[in-house]
Structure 1
Amino acid sequence: MVKILTVKVLKYSLYLLICWGSLAGVEAQKTKAKPAAKPMTLKVMTFNIHHGENNVGKTNLTRVVELVKEYQPDFVALQEIDSVVPRSGKLNQMRILSLLSDYHSAFSAAIDLQGGKYGLGILSKRPIEHVQKLKLPNPDSTEQRILMCALVPLSEGKSIRFCNTHLDHKSALNRGLQAAIINENLQNSIYPVILGGDFNATADNHTLEALTKYWNDAGANSVQATYPGNGKRIDYFWTHQSAPFKVVEYKVLDEPTASDHLPVLVTYSLGK
């Protein structure tokens, strides 16, 4: 009888060991670390399109669309956009760019002009959830400038604020205050921010100090001009130093006849 019981105990013990081993294997599979998610890649473009006019006085809207289709940026910041202004044929330029490129679009007026509007535009591959416009300081009473931001949901439950501006080219006082207000309004954003546009100053100019102190300049290592008229780099993309962005590629596109500025194209990786 003792021998039979011993055999039964051994069999039961073996059964428990097998079951325990199987369960341990299942638990190990459950707790096995998932591979780290790859950073999201975002490609962005900024282009001052000279109110839709090329260097021989013809429309450059078709060329802008061709560039968008060729490089497929996720977002495009456009400066000097006309909306039903007589000098540009009373065209709704952002509507045309949106229809021809099949991108979502938004327009924010900075000033009234010839019975129409003039300001900034954004093109986005993804639907735009919300648009904000902020009037920037203008104590020297030159042309009114604005900051325009679009909130756009990304995949994986993330959203981004893609912002666009065009700072004062006449008044250094205005430009410095405008850069400071932009920094003040964007540096604590709960969403990652990419800020692009025409800043009308080189990166070593004191008027951009509020940006150069707290923001990363995607083209910091580039010496290529973005405004051929004076041979200077005045068009930028910035990301805050605390934001999870890394520059993968920076390019100034060789488009000397499309506008008086050159388009800037940046690819970022966006981490957690």
Structure 2
Amino acid sequence: MRVFNYFLLLFLGCYAGVPAYGQKSKPTPIKLKVMTFNIHHGENNLGKTNLTRVADLIKKHKPDFVALQEIDSGATRSGKLNQMRILSLLTGYEEAFGKTIDLQGGKYGLGILSTRPIEAVQRLKLPNPDSTEPRLLMCALVDLGVNKYVRFCTTHLDHRSPLNRGLQAAVINENLQNSLYPVIVGGDFNATADEHTLEAMTKYWNDAGANTEGATYPDNGKRIDYFWTHKESPFKVLDYRVLYEPTTSDHLPVVVTYSFGK
């Protein structure tokens, strides 16, 4: 009778949700905090370098990954500084840089900071049929250390040409929606979520700040800086906030905390 009761309990444990000896528990979701910030080529509203303040914000909020736009590297206007290297040294994060244009003897483009190892970096030129400023999508493949990887991406879409911006959003969607690894895309998209130029993103991707009213570009009072995750990916927004930093750059930084994993 005792033997029968033992096997009955084992059966119930396997099929009725009661843990049985040897059963593996479900993996605990990972929390990932991310930040995106257009740092205005490292210059604050007084024309002084803002790199120390950007580093202080990163150290205060402790994001796992940071997507940066308008980064100078060796350009005369910013003292020929390698801004990504400086931010990496000040924060202790790994860094990656992607050039969009040559500028004043140096380069200008995008940056990624990561607390975790960057395994590979992809730099994809985006369409520019109206021949305005070239634009880029940059993604880092990051090892989360638990047999999981994530592609963390940054971009800065065209602010002048709606045609360019719409095509750029479409190419980003096409390039990333079938990724082998889950994707987080952050950056300055230079459009509000209701504009048709972002249709490729709003159709297939979740906007972490959807249904929020906080502007990220104070000059026009609009929300144009975003984090997106694909609607079929295992991300859930736990917290979304826009940091009030009106004197650090012309944009405000956005910080999102995700739960990653089913």
Instruction: Give the TM-score normalised by the residue count of structure 2.
Output: 0.93
Moved more, 32-41 or 120-129: 32-41
CA RMSD of aligned residues (A): 1.8
CA distance in 2, matches of 1:45, 1:214: 21
- 1:125 aligned to 96, 115, 119, which one? 115
Cα offset for 1:216?
0.3
Tell me, in whole angstroms, the C-alpha distance in 2 between the residues paired with 1:132 and 1:34.
Answer: 36
Residue 166 of structure 1 is matched in structure 2 by: 156
Separation (CA, whole Å) in 2 of partners of 1:24 and 1:228? 66
* Shift of residue 33, structure 1, vs aligned partner: 3.3
Specify which of 208, 232, 250 is matched with residue 240 of structure 2: 250
Which blocks of at least 5 consecutive residues in structure 2 are unaligned? 14-18
Distance 1:128 1:110 in 2: 20
Equivalent of residue 196 in structure 1, options 179, 186, 191: 186
Q: After superposition, give the CA deviation of every residue in 1:146-203 in whole Å (9 maximum; x if it has no partner).
A: 0000000112200000000000000000000000000000000010000000000000
Which residues in structure 2 correspond to 1:1-272 (within 5 Å)? 31-272=21-262
CA separation in 2, counterparts of 1:217 and 1:199?
12
SS in 2 for 1:57: coil
| CA deviation profile, 1:107-157 (whole Å, cap 9, x unmatched) | 000011111100000000011010000000000000000000000011220
Structure with greater proportional helix content? 1
SS in structure 2 of the partner of residue 129 of structure 1: strand
Structure possessing the higher radius of gyration over alpha carbons = 1
Instruction: Give unpaired runs (5+ residues) of structure 1.
Output: 1-16
- Counterpart of 1:57, as a letter, is G
- Percentage identity across paired residues of the two chains: 72
Counterpart code for 1:265? V
d(CA) in 1 for partners of 2:229, 2:20: 38
Moved over 2 A (4+): 27-37
Q: Deviations over 1:217-257 (max 9, x none)?
A: 00002111000010000000000001010000000001010
- 2:120 & 2:22 partners in 1: Cα distance? 40
Aligned residues: 255
Matched to 1:46, the amino acid is: T
